[in-house]
Amino acid sequence: MNRPYVQRKWIVLGLTLSLAALMAGCSTTRSSLSGSPANLSDLEGKWSWEQGLKPPAPGVIWHGEFVLEKDGTSYTGTLDDVSEGTYNDTIEDVTLSGDQIAFTRDGTYGVQQWKGTLAQADGVLKIIDGTWTKEGGLTGTWSAEKMK
């Protein structure tokens, strides 16, 4: 057999096995995000967030922080968008159903509905698989992590 052919065959096999191992690791990442369902009281505090468009647009990512506070029997908050330079957008209508969270962002550039899944990883509360919609049909994805 031709030696370069055998070498290429081993390289392709090695790359295939490496990719398979990587994909197996990625597929278990979500299952490692577990924990008991969060309470609304767990939501209170400062969060960091990141937001993008759907479908993704290269280089279009917004980020910032938001704070959720208990206001009587409900929660409200404010959101700072460092990327677009807007601060103190209002967070209203915070709801929690099982591991699903939703709220309304009323800000400088309009109203957005944010929804996501609460999960815990390494003792940190996160919001994953988030989606947002804005008046006029603009949509995207988002995620957040509670800051300590």
pLDDT (tens digit, 9 = 90+) per residue, 25-83? 443 333 334 445 555 558 899 999 999 999 888 889 999 999 999 878 788 999 999 99
Q: Output the pLDDT for position 72.
A: 82
pLDDT in tens, 6-39: 556 555 445 454 544 444 444 333 333 444 555 5
**pLDDT value at residue 83:** 94
DSSP string, the chain: --HHHHHHHHHHHHHHHHHHHHHHHHHHHGGG---SPPPHHHH-EEEEEEEEESS--TT-EEEEEEEEEEETTEEEEEEEETTTTEEEEEEEEEEEETTEEEEEEEETTEEEEEEEEEEEETTEEEEEEEEEEETTTEEEEEEEEE--
Query: pTM higher than 0.85 for the full model?
Result: no
* Average pLDDT rounded to a whole number, residues 96-112: 94
